[in-house]
Amino acid sequence: MNTLPSEKKKVPEFAVVGHPNEGKSSVLSTLAEDDTVRVSPTPGETKECRRFPVRVDGRELIAFIDTPGFQNPRHILQWIKEYQGDPAAMLTEFIRIHQPDPAFHDDCQLLQPLRDGAGIIFVVDGSRPVRNIDRAEMEILRLTGLPRMAILNCKEGDTRYLEQWQLDFRKHFNSVRIFNATRATYAERIALLESLRAIDQDNEQALRTVIQAFQSDWRRRNEQTVDLILNLLADTLAYKRSRPLKEGHNEEELRAKMTEKFNQFVRKREQQTHKQIRALFKHNIFSPELPENSLLTEDLFSEKTWQFLGLSKNQLIVTGFITGAGLAAGLDLAVGGASLGMFSALGGLAGAAATAWRGRELLSMIRPLGFRLDEQRLSIGPVRSPQLMFILLDRALLFYQQVSNWAHGRRDYERKTNLTAGKKRGLTASWARSELQICEQFFRQVTGEEQQDSDETAVEMRNLLLNKLVELSGADQDRA
């Protein structure tokens, strides 16, 4: 039969139900990627149903409904067992009879989306044992005849009652998932949607479309993230400025001022980029928190940042960054000049460079910007130290890892991380030599050292970063 133009295909809806304070709102917030969902440790905070549509490109694909918790499950179950009317009208009749009674307000609210045909996501706290009241709630949901999934919202490592819950769930639900709503990654959210697709044939195709749209949307977010990172690198590495140096003025003071201007520029651009990445992953109200001692809370130009991020001295040598006139133009061993705090001490250079600068005495600081004095104008830029590029890359990738995997139902960060002295904790230090060579070529072209095949280099760099984002999707956040 042909579908009439006026007919609209119904968007799949799922009511998130359960006992108060079992994690319903956290699960819903994470699934819907919506941090406007109120998550509170106080039982019974949700009093009215609230619908949370999920849209991609302005098109609503699926909706989750936050519901109050059961208040009178034993009474509801007894009423259903005694009900003799039309099974299709059972929930409608229960609501009609009990709605005037304030004691059943929450129960009637909970049952309304079920009456309207929403699928069921039943959430329980798997860190506690099964109670008779839980069995009453499960039986109520089974008797509705609606497609239903049970979610064990388990705390990490707490599986004492897992078998007990699973045994009861198998009697009442079409599907069972273990799902930590405050730690769920993108991959785990997709896996849960796949399970929802399997519980109801009528919604199977619609949910397949939802999953495909979510995956496409995630790829688009990654592509936009890469573009933001590449723009940050291009703006920073190609930085050039010049100022007049009037006769009698102090050159070192002007150098210091111009260096601080560069510092401020890079910090501002990095902050802007991180803010835009955060917005791509829909963290609009609650900002993903960083672990204690996170490298991302350190100033970009601090000694600790340069100690733990970026490449090691050997990697800089091996990849060929520390060769030729490019880096030499960026070296300044004069103590009197202002420093950006580039604290990646290099033990020596290969070949002629090592001989020229006497191995271990090479330098303790590398300035990213070379200064030139020409006709009473002091010029700086572009960036000559490749280490700055790797520091910015590490910080951007660590930030992406944090925000893309931060579940929207999460409101705190309990883990602590400690920095190990002398150990690189960034991501680029573990990249293969071939990957670092792509970065080297990108660096040389952005800073103007090379002009050939710029399009090909940009594509290689973009693909490299896209692959790295895929690797980080679902990765552990604590490295940040």
Going from the C-alpha of 122 to that of each of 24, 60, 162, 321, 402, the distances in angstroms are: 8, 23, 15, 56, 28
Measured in whole angstroms, the distance separating CA 351 from the mean position of its chain's CA atoms is 44
- Look at residue 151 and give its three-state secondary structure: strand
Cβ 403 vs Cβ 267: under 8 Å: no
What the block records as the tokens of 200 is 């109801």
Q: Which helix (H) or strand (E) holds 120?
A: strand 119-124
Q: What does the alpha-carbon distance between residue 214 and residue 316 come to, in Å, rounded to a whole number?
A: 39
In this prediction, residue 134 carries a pLDDT of: 93
Indicate the residue type of 85: G
Instruction: Give me the DSSP letters along 424-463.
Output: --SSGGGS-HHHHHHHHHHHHHHTTS--TTHHHHHHHHHH
Q: Is the pLDDT of residue 122 over 70?
A: yes
Q: Are 259 and 301 in contact (CB under 8 A)?
A: no
Mean pLDDT of 274-294: 76
Residue 332 has pLDDT above 90, yes or no: no
DSSP state, residue 288: P
DSSP single-letter state for residue 319: T
Q: Is the pLDDT of residue 83 over 90?
A: yes
Beta strands 241-244; 50-56: pairing state: unpaired
Per CATH, the homologous superfamily of domain 13-199 is P-loop containing nucleotide triphosphate hydrolases (3.40.50.300)
Q: What are the boundaries of each domain within the chain?
A: 13-199, 219-479
Which tokens sit at 117?
Answer: 């045909």
> Is beta strand 59-66 parallel, antiparallel or unpaired with respect to 13-17?
parallel
- Which has the higher per-residue pLDDT, 27 or 273? 273
Average pLDDT, the chain: 80
Q: Which residues pair with 15 in a beta bridge?
A: 65, 120
pLDDT band at 135 (very low <50, low <70, confident <90, very high): very high
Of 83 and 40, more confident: 83
Alpha helical stretches, state H, 173-249? 186-198, 201-237
